[in-house]
Amino acid sequence: MAVTIKDVAKLAGVSPSTVSRVCNGNPAISSETRERVREAMTQLGYQLPISPEPQAEPAAKTIGIVLPPIDREAYDNPFFLKAIRGISQVCNSRKVVTGVVTGGDYAEILEGTRLMHKNGGADGFVLLYSRKNDTVTEYLRQNGLLHVVVGKAVEPEDQAIYIDNDNLLAGREVTDYLYSLGHRRIGYLGSKNEFLFASDRRSGYQLSLLQHGLPILSDYCVEMEGLSEAGLRALTELLRREDRPTAFVVSDDMLVSALERICRQLGLSVPGDVSVIAFDNSLYAHLLSPQLTSVDINSYRLGQEAAIQLINRMENPGFMAAKILVPHRIVEGDTCRRIEE
């Protein structure tokens, strides 16, 4: 019959809990009691139970967050900061590690993505942009790497997960909004069309003009990469015209600063002479005076949904690819006014 801790306690004249504390090396036990217990253990041939080896925790999963080039807009645009916050909140709650990949151009970003993949540093990727003929997306697809794109679908929708707004609808709605205020000469200021969100917002703007019987004038549309000199020059020339637009749809809040600055230089006021509605509803929109009317695209939720969908697919590889639309809404500020044409 096996010797138990109670047998040792009885022989040593102590309680079973005292024997347990001696076995665990509790310093509160006197040396005399400790020796008496050990002698009883030897006499009875009592063997300490072997504790199982602690199991190593499984390695945490890692997600790579891929941003567009830093020399364009990645760290200046509040959209990316909000989206990263949303991704991080979900990843923290699901015990997933995140890392950021970016660079001065797309070649650097591709190399950074390759390094993270080859070194086993990522189980999946979130791309915070959608772009035509993107080398990073193509690399992920060709290597069968799990990824989520925040933006419009480029490759076949059954090969990746897309989280997006309905930017075509949003572009149409903001133009309809300006039309409802009496504006008939409506211009467009946006990012280059290689970014598909900007392309869709412009298409929505044009669709609204057609539906209201207004002409689509190519010189009323100014597209620029960052705040390029050529783009600023074209915008200045447009605002100098006698038949200048009375209102602008702007593809993101950050470009409003250029429009507002040129208006001031030309003696024009917002919204007195030019009404403005933009996208993102960023901190800048709230700090601007007068407060900017802007479309809240819910950047934080876009990031959350991207992380949720990617982690779910990491944990359940059988999940189907999906396209998820996050709703938007117009947040009225003070940069749009009603006019009588």
Amino acid sitting at position 119: N
The conformation of residue 195, written as its DSSP 8-state character, comes to B
What gap in Å lies between CA 260 and CA 75, rounded to an integer? 22
What gap in Å lies between CA 244 and CA 46, rounded to an integer? 97
Fold topology of 167-297? Rossmann fold (3.40.50)
User: Which pLDDT value is given to residue 53?
Assistant: 55
Please compute the mean of the pLDDT values over residues 218-229 and round it to a whole number. Answer: 84
DSSP 249-279: EESSHHHHHHHHHHHHHTT--TTTT-EEEEE
- Across the beta sheet with 329-331, the strand order is 221-224, 186-191, 247-250, 275-279, 293-296, 329-331
For residue 193, is pLDDT > 80? no
Domain range summary for the chain, segments of one domain joined by +: 62-165+299-328, 167-297
Task: Indicate the pTM of the whole model.
Answer: 0.75
- Across the beta sheet with 147-150, the strand order is 97-101, 62-66, 124-127, 147-150, 161-164, 323-325
- Output Rg (C-alpha) for the chain, integer angstroms: 31
Please write the tens of the pLDDT for every residue from 109-140: 999 999 998 887 788 999 998 888 889 998 99
Please write the tens of the pLDDT for every residue from 270-287: 999 999 999 988 877 777
Parallel, antiparallel, or unpaired for β 147-150 and 161-164? parallel
User: Which pLDDT value is given to residue 74?
Assistant: 46
What gap in Å lies between CA 72 and CA 227, rounded to an integer? 9
The conformation of residue 282, written as its DSSP 8-state character, comes to -
Please tell me the class of the 62-165+299-328 domain.
alpha beta
Q: Would you say the C-alpha torsion 277, 282, 285, 288 has a positive or negative sign?
A: negative
For residue 59, is pLDDT > 60? yes
